[in-house]
Structure 1
Amino acid sequence: MKADDYLVLAALLLPLFVVSYWIVPYFTTYKHLQHIPGPFLGKFSNVWLAAGARQGKKFAWVDDAHRKYGKVVRVGFNHVSIATPEGLRTVYAHGNGFLKDYFYNAFVSGVPGVFNVRDRFEHTRKRKIVAHAFSPGAVKDFEPHMTNNLVRWVGELDKIASHTDGQGFGKINMMPWCTFVAFDIIGDLAFGAPFGMVLRGRDECPADMGGNTVYVPGAETLNRRGEVSSTLGLLPQVRPFAKVLPDPFFTRGLQSVANLHGIAVAAVDKRLSAEARDSEKGLVSIGRHDILEMLCRAKTSDGQPIAREELISEALTQLIAGSDTVSNTACAIMYWILHGERARPGTIVSRLQAELDAAIPADAVVAAHSMVKNLPFLRQCIDESMRLHSTSALGLPRLVTAPEGVACEKEHFPLGTVLSVPSYTLHHDADLWGADVEEFRPDRWLDLTPRQRMGFNPFSFGPRACVGQNVAHMELALIIGTAFRRYDFRLDQQVLTSHEGFSKKPDECWLGIRRRV
């Protein structure tokens, strides 16, 4: 056949492929979902949802769909999004037997970790190992590492604050500085040493790439990895060919997946090599209370240490969870506190600072957790900011595994259906939160309804909820408490725009900053 004949044959076969692959299943295999409203393309394939992920706006696309079509929306050929508190309790509940969807396979680098492992028994085994690292006693031991990094952080912020404008403020984009301190803290906790981003003032981490150490931008690597994995997770048929696709989004993203794994390899090897050298010299390690040390002491069911690849995978999971979510959330909290103050001057910041001043001694460089962990208004501000920003904004997909299916929102979803609940949409639902849903109002947390409490979902829910949420709360209280106790801020931008990889990241947050007298 000539080249022109192949083109003619392809032109004839393409409509047949489209009909057989997308159209026929709509009328046969997934006929039971036909009545559920949603975007037209989303009824036939995952391409609509993947396009939103490719743009970094999947949370916004899904939210728009819910506003247009209602609480129950078909967003993929076999994927239904449910935006109600009751849906949250059904889809992610303990004991429902649901599995993480195949979507999570795209996030595996090396061997599966506690975040992306799909097998229920493997997850139980891994979670027992990791959960020990986040017990109340273990979390308490993390504080000195957080404190040391916060001291370095405020030292650099003091320098920025000293270069003042006519109003006595320095100028700072808080987003990268939240990234620097969050990466350094989780580097300290998960790998035994900070990455040094705060002191360098740069997004930079060493990575082991096939035995060669190179320096890569940690936060940028993490963001690109989230973007490409979220997109390819919805298009599993495309994954084997992603490296050769002409769109550089995929080639850069897949390189970031490799770079991120290399960061974990380099950090773990550095720690283990240091311990091996000490052992060879006859030095007795006194132990370092951090996540990696606890993972190193963990045992498999037959009493053996966990394999090096699993150790790297679990340390990488903690790096991702502890850097991206905390940095994005801390920055968003600072923005929303200042936004609320701008909307109602004299009602937010002065009240927060009065509470912090009463709890933190004047000579303290940074807050101690004992000083801030029970401050009610600080916690209200943090929770209200997490509601409005929703760092974990997307609907985490779950596969119905019960042979009889599941009932939810007056619908029946059979075995094999993919369900999710979008946190961003749930947190911005006026039917749930009231007409002032878009306002920063911390005092709403004084009299929440049961449904509002049920619908607040910053760390997911059920057996696959974030195992490190206690550490996250501790870190956020220390960062926000220290920042507003030590500095006055001026909000220098009107809105906070965000871009979504796996989590939702503020693009920038420009503030004026000055030391408080």
Structure 2
Amino acid sequence: MFPLVMIASLVALGLLVVYYVGGYLFQNRSLSDIPAASPWAALTRFWLVREARFGRRYLTVDDAHKTHGDFVRIQPNHVSIANVNAINAIYGHGNGFLKSDFYDAFVAVSRGLFSTRSRADHTRKRKIVAHTFSAKSVMQFEQYMHQNLNELLRQWDLICQKAPANSKFARFDCLPWFAYLTFDTIGDLAFGSPFGMLKNGQDTIEYMDYPGGPSKYMHAVDALSRRGEAFAVLGCLPFLKKIGHLLPDSFLRNGVRSGSQVAGIAIARVGERLASTATKGTERVDILTRLMEGKDVKGQPLGREELTAEALTQLIAGSDTTSNTLTGIFYWLLKSPGVLAKLQAEVDTVILSPTDEVAFQTVKNLPYLKACMNEGMRIHSTSALGLPRVVPIDGPAIEICGRTFEPGTVLSVPNYTIHRLESIWGADSDQYRPERWESLTDDQKKAFVPFGHGPRSCVGRNVAEMEVTLAMATLVRRYDFELYQERFETWEGFLRKGFCCEVGIRRRMT
């Protein structure tokens, strides 16, 4: 006779199978004529879990669209749409679409602006957070960006001095340094001081499991990567996160643990700031100050948990996304013949010396610099997957691109695919060519969505663009570069991240 625990396990497994297969048989019949990325994709959500687990979701979905066209079923109730007209229909203002349960995997401390699925809650939070990123506030952040850029320059100057005698270039991996730069910058902007990664040349920082708890230390860049990789998998089947610590896959167990550690960074830093402000006050103008000042329509500020959750959102968005974007841009910038020289020539016209500090107002409107940035964000697509939205449960069926979708259907537009569609970008869509930005078609303008689209788009876009602009202009003005790798190998978690970017560097004299 089977032990009771074995019987219970088999019953639970049977119920799970009935739930997911039953969902296919009885709830998704209106989608049955849409081609699936795999026969398993139409039957079970576990298929997408597997593709995400091995870091190939964006490639698998892209291949499926190349085979089947605009509409591809990637889960029993989830359709991926590779059509530019679907972007505003799904993500635009006023359509009532909500985020799917994919975002439940990303909740930490409490639901923040990124992970909240409630329309009313999102409206309330965005009102509080949005003023933090007003044009006036963002301009006040520039001073902190320069402080951290200057520390990066000091470190890279030391690297230049280590060039071997038989070479003009010093060889190193720039990828971790971009991570140190963006972590320290967001530490400065969000919490009042950098984490010290640039100064120390490594990513060990403090975290706490709970407010006032003992200080612990971790490698933050690695932890953030593991978190994103695991949560992108668990988001495909969010109930798995609740038992994440019990899962047999150490990849997922470690990712869940890393997610708690990353949340602990915000817990430690917010606690430190609240204690300091209570005793000394603050005259500092940064993201955390603005979040603490923010009020909702009822005049209420963020509570401690909400404040910590929003600070965590800014920490993650302002470090991981920006560092991967910078690395991807630099790889393609150096790989493409003639682009670096052309960009340097443009920047040299407004920054007269390699040692001059680069003011954002001076370089923000340089057309080729902007084109190099946009083309890098297009072809690298740091956020490569399609962000899932739900057709409103309490509304009518929705028609998108000539196809009707019933309430409750999950829809998404895959960024990687939409950024590379030949029908939009031309036969050279897989090539880095900044010159294409000299004259864009209407469809190209609509298809470029590195920061998302509509009311749930990235609230920190202005900060990210300022940081990337300043970093690119400063670095190409001060240094010459060479690239030492043929391919930029990446792994997809929530973000599409590179493994390394080996470059050569030397100081420019004029």
Shorter-chain TM-score bucket reads: over 0.9
Displacement of 1:246:
1.4
Residue correspondence of structure 1 range 282-301 to structure 2 within 5 A: 285=282, 287-301=283-297
Letter in structure 2 aligned against 1:296 = M
Matched, 1:380 2:382: no
- 1:238 is paired with a residue whose SS is helix
**Are residues 193 and 45 of structure 1, via their aligned partners in 2, closer, same or farther at CA, if it must alter by over 3 Å?**
same
Among 290, 300, 313, which residue is 1:304 paired with?
300
Tell me the alpha carbon deviations over residues 227-250 of structure 1, each in whole angstroms, 9 at most, x when there is no partner: 221111211232332211111112
Report the equivalent of 1:224.
226
Of residues 146-155 and 264-273 in structure 1, the stretch that sits farther from structure 2 once superposed is 264-273
C-alpha displacement at 1:363, in angstroms? 5.8
- Measured against aligned partners, the alpha-carbon deviations of 1:82-125 in whole angstroms (never above 9, x if no partner) come to 01110111110110000000111110101111111111011011
Pairing of 1:129-208 with structure 2 (within 5 A): 129-165=128-164, 166-208=166-208
Contact 2:127-2:296 at 8 Å conserved across structures:
no
Per-residue deviation, 1:16: 5.8
1:501 and 1:10 map into 2 onto residues whose CA distance is: 30
Give me the whole-angstrom Cα distance separating, in 1, the residues matched to 2:184 and 2:16: 49
1:41 equivalent to 2:43? Answer no
Specify the code of the residue in structure 1 equivalent to 2:390.
L
Shift in Å at residue 25 of structure 1?
Answer: 2.8
Which residue number in structure 2 is paired with residue 451 of structure 1? 443
Q: Map of 1:322-401 to 2, 5 A cutoff?
A: 322-341=318-337, 347-362=338-353, 364-401=355-392
1:7 to 1:270, Cα distance in 2 relative to 1, 3 A: closer
8 Å Cα contact 1:296/1:305 also seen in 2: yes
The CA deviation at 1:220 is 1.3
Alignment check: 8 A CA contact 2:21 2:44 kept:
no
Asked whether the equivalents of residues 355 and 377 of structure 1 are also in contact (C-alpha less than 8 Å), the reply is yes
- Give me the whole-angstrom Cα distance separating, in 2, the residues matched to 1:503 and 1:486: 29
Contact conserved, 2:241 with 2:256, CA < 8 A, in 1? no
Greater displacement, 77-86 / 42-51: 42-51
- 1:505 matches 2:487: no
SS of corresponding position for 1:74: strand
Partner SS for 1:381: helix
Give 3-state SS (helix, strand or coil) of 1:386's partner. Answer: helix
1:59, CA displacement in angstroms?
1.4
- Which AA in structure 1 matches 2:184? D
CA deviations 1:388-409 (Å, max 9, x no partner) are 0001111000010062121112
After the TM superposition, which of the residue ranges 485-494 and 17-26 deviates more from structure 2? 17-26
For residues 260-308 of structure 1, the C-alpha deviation after alignment (integer angstroms, 9 at most, x for no partner) is: 11100111122222222325xxxxx4x2111000011112443333211
Cα distance in 2 for partners of 1:222, 1:6 equals 36
Asked if 1 retains the 8 angstrom alpha-carbon contact of 2:354 and 2:478, the reply is: no
**1:430·1:436 contact (CA, 8 Å) conserved in 2?**
yes
State the AA in 2 paired with 1:463: P
RMSD: 1.8
Secondary structure class of the residue paired with 2:121: helix
SS at match of 1:325: helix
> Structure 1 pair 107/6, CA: closer, same or farther in 2 (3 Å)?
closer
TM-score normalised to structure 1 length: 0.94
- CA–CA distance in structure 2, aligned partners of residues 379 and 78 of structure 1: 39
Asked whether the equivalents of residues 90 and 412 of structure 2 are also in contact (C-alpha less than 8 Å), the reply is yes
- After TM superposition, the runs of 4+ consecutive aligned structure 1 residues lying more than 6 A away are 5-11
Identify which of 270, 273, 278 aligns with 1:271.
273
Identify which of 391, 395, 401 aligns with 1:403: 395
Deviation by residue 1:416-459 (Cα, 9 ceiling, x = unmatched): 00000000011111121111111111110111111111111100
**Match in the other structure for 2:83:** 84
Report the residue type matching 2:370 in the other structure.
R
Counterpart for residue 214 of structure 1: 216
2:119 matched residue in structure 1: 120
* 1:153-185 superposed Cα distances (whole Å, 9 cap, x missing partner): 110011111111322111110110000000000
Match of 2:25 in 1: 27
Paired letter, 1:498: T
Displacement of 1:67 in angstroms is 1.6
Worse-matched range after superposition: 202-211 or 295-304:
295-304
TM-score by structure 2 length? 0.95
The 2-side partners of 1:55 and 1:146 are apart by 35
- Given that residues 355 and 478 in structure 2 are in contact (C-alpha distance below 8 angstroms), is that contact kept between their aligned partners in structure 1? no
Q: Equivalents in 1 of 2:56, 2:206: separation in Å?
A: 30
Q: Which runs of 5+ in 1 are unaligned?
A: 280-284, 342-346
SS at match of 1:457: coil
